[in-house]
Amino acid sequence: MRIGIFGGSFNPVHNVRLCRFVVFSRPGAARRRAPAAVRFAPFDALGISASDIRRRLESGKSVKRLVPAVIEKDLKNYFGRTRSTRIQK
């Protein structure tokens, strides 16, 4: 399995030797088996999904207190645009 992170690729077998991973799972989601280097951390869910946040931004509604302030501007720059003018990747 390779995913485009960590400088271009993600090799789970190699990377669990380099660092510890913390996983925040959604409430009610089943946990899968994980290597000892993976820790599951509890958290209080906000009761809002990423899709809800995108819809709020696309319709011009506030996301204050739903996302960290430091990334709110970037999210507004991308998702706050109409579909026809949104930056294409």
Give φ, ψ of 38 to 5 degrees.
Answer: -100, 125
Task: List CB contacts of 27: < 8 A, sequence separation 6 or more.
Answer: 45
Mean pLDDT computed over 29-36: 77
Query: Residue 7: is its pLDDT beyond 90?
Result: no
What tens digit of pLDDT does each residue of 39-83 get?
888 877 778 888 999 999 989 898 988 988 888 888 888 887 654
**Confidence (pLDDT) at 26:** 74
Tell me the C-alpha distance between 30 and 20, whole Å.
Answer: 21
pLDDT band at residue 9 under the 50/70/90 scheme: low
Neighbouring C-alpha atoms within 13 Å toward the C-beta of 82: 2
Question: Both tokens of residue 41?
Answer: 């951390």
Residue 84 has pLDDT above 60, yes or no: no
